[in-house]
Structure 1
Amino acid sequence: MIKFYKSLAFILAMFLFTNCDKDEDIVQKSKLKQITEFSITTSAGNLKAVINEFKISITVPKDVNLSSLTPTIKISAKSQIFPLADKVQDFTKPVTYTVTAEDGSKQDYTVSVEIEKSKNCTISEFLFKQFDPIVTGLISNFTIELTVPIGTDLKKLIPNIVISDDASISPKTDVETDFSSPVTYTVTAEDKTEQKYVVTVNFAKSSENKILEFKFEEFTPTLIGVIDHENNTIKVTVPWAEKFDIYSMKPSIVVSELATVNPESGKENNFKVSQTYTVTAEDNSTKIYTATVSIEEAPEPTLEALTKTTYSAGEQITIKGTNFSDCEVSLNYSSGSYIMTIDEQTTSEVSFTLPSSTKLGEAELTMYIRDVKYSLGDITILPPAPIITGLSTSNTDDNVIVTIAGDNFSKGNNMVYFVLNNQEHEAYIKKDGDNSIQVILNPLLTPGSYNVKVKVNDKEVTSNKTIEITAPTTTNPIITAVNKAHLKRGEKLIVDGANLTGNPIQISIIGNNGSIVRNVKVLSDTQVEYVIPEDLNSGIYEISLQMYIDYDLKFSNVLYNISIED
């Protein structure tokens, strides 16, 4: 029995040894499946393709028939390709080749064959066939020159252009084109290469040498010369009413086509004396013109009487009449004369503004017209009228404060009104000044857009800008006016307002030495009364109202100034 098992173990060992030898004899199959080279033989030789990963591209000459090409293809060892190499293929569209490795794995390659695009971009002929004989252009170094009969309309020539095959040209051939100046043509090859040609069309040389226009465009109205071609003269007349500097004028000159003029057009010249202009034709023949500028004689002026004789400094004065020119205005005082700066001058009106610093009092108003003196009589000059330069609003102590900026105000003499629909509402001045006034906006005014009027003595001005007033929403007491701004002790101060419904209503009087709060006598829900106490010191005080509504203390949003006097 033991002998049997030993024999069985020997047989199994030999079996395992034999199997191990068979495994070591197995060889791995290749996975390579590449196209390593792709070429096509053409009239230009053997052309190799560009292989980019799994895309293959090749460009061939124009004479190649894409529908019948036989490529030469090299692939990885032990691999196979389909379609087969060295077989005729139609490459009018991309062709897919499949390479199969020895291990059976596959890889597709897409092959694209393109016809080579032309680089040719030349103009071989440039013709004008509308002429008899045909006009042919001279082509040299990318310039083309043509000569056409004199008088030809260069703006309506039709070129016939021959260019390289498969190229394009811009502007187009066989269309009406303006050749009054050189025209640049761009020829674009099939491969987008570009070449520019400059085409110039010339006339036969002209003998024309005339001045066709002679004018001065720098002036209004334009001065146009009268040209006499028989006597070769040019005459320009300057209107008497226009101020032209004939010592320094620049004529605009138009001459015959292809001719030149000397001095040239636009060049400054002194026309106090006659000037000569030489016109040279294209064929170098010349003609000389003599240009003369003269000034029209002015008619006698007339002046209208002034509509008033009292003016304010800063006011504009207009003098009316006829035949005005070269005017100068002056004010003549016993102590001397002052020349005014003219704002605007026409043949019938001269306007000037009295400076704000003008000397006040009586002065003779005179005007010189073309150096001749004319008197308009005596006028009286008063202080300047107020001017509003700006309006702004701000909020202080629950009040809307309107600040009026301007000039020619007079502290202590200013009065301010809010104006709506021609109705004036006097405003309370909180802070007065010579160039700024602050007023408190009355919140009980009817809602709307209000202009602001400032009166200074007997002068007044109304703003163009408006202040918008909206309906009040507060339940606080409001002060709109007081019966007096200056009071003595023992006098009654009547305060007008709104929302005066609390209990009690008290007045707060605030001065530099402190403040006091006292009950007032309620006359109605829009008016209260308070007697100035005998122990109140002289001075300026601010007043406000306060009251309780349901145990809630309410303060007026308007503070008024009053002064207590001895």
Structure 2
Amino acid sequence: MIKPIHFLLFFIFFICSCSNDDSEPAAIKSDSKEIIDFFIDGIDTEIDGNIIKIYVPASRELNRFLPQIKSSEKSEVFPKLNIPIDFTNPVNFVVKAEDASINNYTTELITLNGLESITMILKSDDGNTGVDKFYGEIDELEEKIYINYSSKSVNGFKRFDFFPYLDIKMTNNEETIPTLNDIIDISNKNQKLYIPSLNKSYDLIIKNEDNLIERIYLPLTTYGSFSQLASSAYDEFKVGLDDNDYIFHTLKNQDLTNLKPDSILISDYATITPDPSTPQDFSKDVTYTITSETGVEKTRKIRVIEKNIIFPNDTSNAGSVSNNTTWFDRYIATSKVIAITLVNRETNETLACQIIENYETTDGDTYLILEIDEMPLTRSSYYYRCTLEEGITVDSYGGIGLDPDKD
């Protein structure tokens, strides 16, 4: 006879055994595999069935994009992009669902009608163009066109009656205002480019990128108010200077500590600090900061070199050449020249030289008539070694080239 307690335990064991034999139903996996959104910053896109249309402005030079892609829940998109890729040719994307089924999408690049490119050129009335061109940057999102130009170039060509025009490229030769035959007034800071057929308008922002000191004059004792760019100076004078810095040569015994420029001309629409009307200590290099209209800063140094004697060609080796044993020159000095020796610039050999005349004109220039006994056999370049009345002998970079074969 089975005891009740034993029967109960057997029944529970039987029920549990039957329950373990039942299998759980399989989970259902998603088959969703659609691209829901295909986003490129600043570019219009459209998903048309399994075609992803990318509408690119005509002004885009590169068709490389890094899209943000949103697909169905629990799906994956291949290839996975982490750098921009070129969409010039169709690109295939595969969407894989959770259940491993796939769906294919293909891109189509569509170029919109409109502005392809814009360039500012320098052109004459007869159609000739200058070598310098200034390419516009087109911002379709903000509907702005930026053109940075060089006023030094524009003003240089203006002397030959070359003026700025816009070279405008449109996809279907649509009309624009202004047209490519209109001179552009670069002083007008509120211009627009309008395309009537598209009813579209761009802000035309034309700015000068130069930050130069074009000219500067200091109240110094020299020939006129002569200055030179450091690029054309002797190496000794321009140590620590950039090519666009300025060098002045003046006589010693002047007070340079409290000078201001007689005048200073900087690039169009640029600004300068410190204020040129404020006196500066020119006994050492003075630095000005010029900021271009485009906001780019550049420092320019002004250096004054003091000398006991200055000749007109004292700043570079672009001196005069003579085929005569007698020639004239002029100078200014802290005292009168009483003797001159010629020193060969290459060999340092000396050549005796006599002062035939040394006189001052009513306009304050001092002239020398110089003579040597015999012309050198080959062309040679010399600088002057000068003895002054005050009892010193100084070398000048000024001098003469002697060439027996010069016509």
Class of the TM-score when normalised by the shorter of the 2 chains: 0.3 to 0.5
Structure with bigger gyration radius: 1
Greater RCO, CA 8 A, separation 6+: 2
Normalised by the length of structure 2, the TM-score is 0.41
> Comparing both structures, which one devotes a greater share of its residues to strand?
1
